[in-house]
Structure 1
Amino acid sequence: MIPSTPRQSRPKVCFLYIAQTHQILHSLPIAVALARGWPGLEVEIAATTQEHLDYARQLLAALGGAPITSRLLPPAWLRGMRLKAASTPPKALMLAANAVALGRMDAIVTPERTTAMLRKLGVRKPMLVYTQHGAGDRGGVFEPRLRQFDLVMAAGPKQRDRMVEGGWVKPENCAMVGYPKFDIIDALPGSPLPTFPDAKPIVVYNPHFHATLGSWPSFGVRVLEQFAADDRFNLIFAPHIRLFDGASPVMLNALKPFRDHPRIHIDLGGPAAIDMTYTRAADIYLGDVSSQVYEFLRTPKPCLFLNPTHAAWRGDESFHHWLYGPVLTEVDGLIDQIEAARAGHGDYIQAQKTGFAESFDLTATPSSERAARAIADRLLRAA
């Protein structure tokens, strides 16, 4: 067990970033709300790469600042071990290398589940808080590691009920707080939009990285080919950031024919791909199992889903979002299918509104403030 140290004058809360940059947007607004609203707590952010730290600091500055310290986690040599040019060093090794230092915190707040490993490394003192980094339906995120967290946040009743009813989280350890990412998105101007020669309806294609349920391996190139050959739509190809993180030369080469196409914009993980710039700008969503569909549906709009494995999805809550638009098992004639999805959107509007309300419990109090209070209440009660 990592030895504990005497409590500092102010309880210290660490917002930890060991995964890809998209996760920063899910917990950083909570750090800001906590630092501004609870001066009796000391708040810091810690990241495993300089790029992540720079992005977090840039966001903090754009928000007007907050009393938050920041640091780059050691060791430097481990950052050089990024596998296949991935954007982050190995998460488990970085946790192991920093277990003693992290064990001195009073709370560790993280948007990903690998941090649960700290308990196996003997870190017992800090309260572990999992903020989530999406509000999707895939069943894989409801799993045993959730039991290692002292506080798990839920965006809405759908997420909360699945975690509690599945036995992954106890009701007293779950706080339904809404969606803090919306707070930071609404507070910032957003990234520049791509420019297209002609004003046409915009489709955002957002394939997930899931090895089998994701549509890229089976359909991706054919999807791009059809948009390149048909001039009815402009396309933003913005896959989940993990799909091309550390991608092979073969994967990257497959995009070469489309990189200079006037009606196709490709973004494999820049700020606009993660800060809702594209989901807000697009008129139609084309995807598979990514939770980003829920961010897109903040305003009801047409959706179309790709089912490359012919999954028996009806009645399976892991595919609940496929009730929000047509589901295709083939992509022949895709552009015509997108036109049909636009024309038939009225059939799905009520399902989209209901699904959004089940996914996000949004109130007059900002979600980041609700999340910050949930942390502070538990932390100060334990002091």
Structure 2
Amino acid sequence: MARAKRVCFLYIAQHHQVWHSLSVAVAMAKLWPHIEVEIAATTPELLDYVSSLLSELGGADIKLVLLPPAWLRRLGGGGPPKAPMLIANAWRLAKYDAVITPERTTALLRRLGVRHPLLVYTQHGAGDREGPFEPRLKLFDLVMAAGPKQRDRMLREGWVTPASCAMVGYPKFDLVDALPPRVAPRFDEQRPIVLYNPHFHPELSSWSRWGREVLDAFAQDDRYNLIFAPHIRLFETASSDERAGFKAYAEHPHIHIDLGGPAAADMTYTKLADLYLGDVSSQVYEFLRTPKPCLFLNASGADWRGDPSYHHWLYGPVLDAADHLGEAIDMAFATHDDYRQAQIQGIAETFDVQNTPASERAARAIIEKLERAT
């Protein structure tokens, strides 16, 4: 009798990445019980976070594993460094039949000589930024795509082949839809809610150049409620003094500050907000699951027209300066109908929606790849 296949869903980065593959692990454990599903993480906090989500989902036959060594967890402000943790655990991970990950650093296992397990990359977003389209994708046996836009670009640029790419939809939506509603911020006055969501990339983000100017504009203008929830990596290693610098903004009853909490990853804010204000984060696509107004900040002076990495800037006005922000927001609300069709088309290109849930489609793609590798 053939032994059961063992697969590992690996989390070595920030908690927001859990949302891009956990529903796949649950679907696999429930629909393919002959597969032994394990989840491995590099910190107790991350494993507790996974455990709490599994409990909310009603549980699943999944083993949770804390990866050693403990001393590596004391290095780095944002969790243990990924490459050393992979080096330290290469022999453990080599024993699985598949290692499934939402981040690309795990491709290092191939450089370390780990050959047996299939390497599966689920992605952790469906944005347009060119950074994720890169050579490490070639080291994975299977790369997921949320929709035709992502799949076609990876194929066109040669990062995947038809055999190594599976278009499965967006498993994060399955997890968000399956969980109870999260507690959303409450404002004293009912006003339109703006989500300011700058990216962490220093050369592309609006934060370093215009961020304080944006927050000051909202502090001085209470016609809108503001949620400031940047990409969680932006302030991941910020000191307590740096974080304390936002206290004055948070004291305004119409401003909510979240520098990296759970709600910054679970779509609480993208579902709640009425307008998206940002730059290059893929979260704009989660926001546009329901078409709504957008306003983009070109703080880097990018020559963006016709560049696929800025395709989402077709979904709303683009500002080349941060002054008169209130007027620009007014205009973005007033002219949303001019961008609605582009948003609808963009969402259709980004997320392949079918009757079968994305998490089940992704799990099936992994199972089929495992069976072909036997």
**Aligned pair 1:323/2:314, yes or no?**
yes
Equivalence for 2:69: 75
State the Cα distance separating 1:171 from its structure 2 match.
Answer: 1.1
Please give the secondary structure, in 1, of the residue aligned with 2:330. Answer: helix
- Determine the C-alpha separation between the residues in 2 that align with 1:251 and 1:284: 27
Matching residue's letter, 2:228: F
Candidates 39, 47, 59, aligned match of 2:41: 47
Equivalence for 2:347: 356
- Determine the C-alpha separation between the residues in 2 that align with 1:8 and 1:290: 45
What are the Cα deviations for residues 142-196 of structure 1, in whole angstroms up to 9, with x where unaligned? 0000000000000000000000110001111000000000001001123211111
- Determine the C-alpha separation between the residues in 1 that align with 2:361 and 2:230: 30
CA RMSD in angstroms comes to 1.2
State the Cα distance separating 1:254 from its structure 2 match.
Answer: 3.7
Equivalence for 1:130: 121
Candidates 354, 357, 366, aligned match of 2:357: 366
Equivalence for 1:335: 326
Count of residues paired in the alignment: 374
- Determine the C-alpha separation between the residues in 2 that align with 1:204 and 1:309: 20
1:143-162 aligned at under 5 Å gives the runs 143-162=134-153
Tell me if structure 2 keeps the 8 A contact 1:204–1:237.
yes
Please give the secondary structure, in 1, of the residue aligned with 2:64. Answer: strand
Equivalence for 1:4: none
State the Cα distance separating 1:335 from its structure 2 match.
Answer: 1.1
- Determine the C-alpha separation between the residues in 2 that align with 1:374 and 1:262: 48
Candidates 206, 217, 222, aligned match of 1:231: 222
What are the Cα deviations for residues 202-228 of structure 1, in whole angstroms up to 9, with x where unaligned? 000000001111010001111011101
Matching residue's letter, 1:306: L
- Determine the C-alpha separation between the residues in 1 that align with 2:199 and 2:181: 23
Structure 1's unaligned 5+ residue stretches are 1-6
Q: Which moved more, 1:175-184 or 1:329-338?
A: 329-338
- Determine the C-alpha separation between the residues in 2 that align with 1:217 and 1:38: 47
Tell me if structure 2 keeps the 8 A contact 1:110–1:130.
yes
Go from structure 1 to structure 2 and tell me whether the alpha carbon gap of 1:248 and 1:312 turns closer, same or farther (over 3 Å shift): farther
Matching residue's letter, 2:31: G
Please give the secondary structure, in 2, of the residue aligned with 1:336. Answer: helix
Equivalence for 2:366: 375
Q: Which moved more, 1:349-358 or 1:59-68?
A: 59-68
Equivalence for 1:275: 266
Equivalence for 2:5: 11
1:1-383 aligned at under 5 Å gives the runs 9-82=3-76, 85-86=77-78, 88-248=79-239, 251-383=242-374
Tell me if structure 2 keeps the 8 A contact 1:135–1:359.
yes
Matching residue's letter, 2:150: Q
- Determine the C-alpha separation between the residues in 1 that align with 2:56 and 2:116: 33
Please give the secondary structure, in 1, of the residue aligned with 2:218. Answer: helix
Matching residue's letter, 1:349: R
Tell me if structure 1 keeps the 8 A contact 2:205–2:300.
no
Tell me if structure 2 keeps the 8 A contact 1:191–1:271.
no
Q: Which moved more, 1:151-160 or 1:60-69?
A: 60-69
- Determine the C-alpha separation between the residues in 1 that align with 2:100 and 2:150: 19
Matching residue's letter, 2:307: D
User: TM-score, length-normalised on structure 1?
Assistant: 0.96
Please give the secondary structure, in 2, of the residue aligned with 1:141. Answer: coil
Please give the secondary structure, in 2, of the residue aligned with 1:104. Answer: coil
- Determine the C-alpha separation between the residues in 1 that align with 2:175 and 2:141: 25
Matching residue's letter, 1:80: R
User: TM-score, length-normalised on structure 2?
Assistant: 0.98
What are the Cα deviations for residues 252-280 of structure 1, in whole angstroms up to 9, with x where unaligned? 34423212221110111111111001000
State the Cα distance separating 1:105 from its structure 2 match.
Answer: 0.6
Matching residue's letter, 2:302: A
State the Cα distance separating 1:249 from its structure 2 match.
Answer: 5.5
Tell me if structure 2 keeps the 8 A contact 1:221–1:254.
no
Structure 2's unaligned 5+ residue stretches are none
Matching residue's letter, 1:366: P
Matching residue's letter, 1:71: V
Tell me if structure 2 keeps the 8 A contact 1:190–1:272.
no
Tell me if structure 2 keeps the 8 A contact 1:190–1:275.
no
Please give the secondary structure, in 2, of the residue aligned with 1:265. Answer: strand
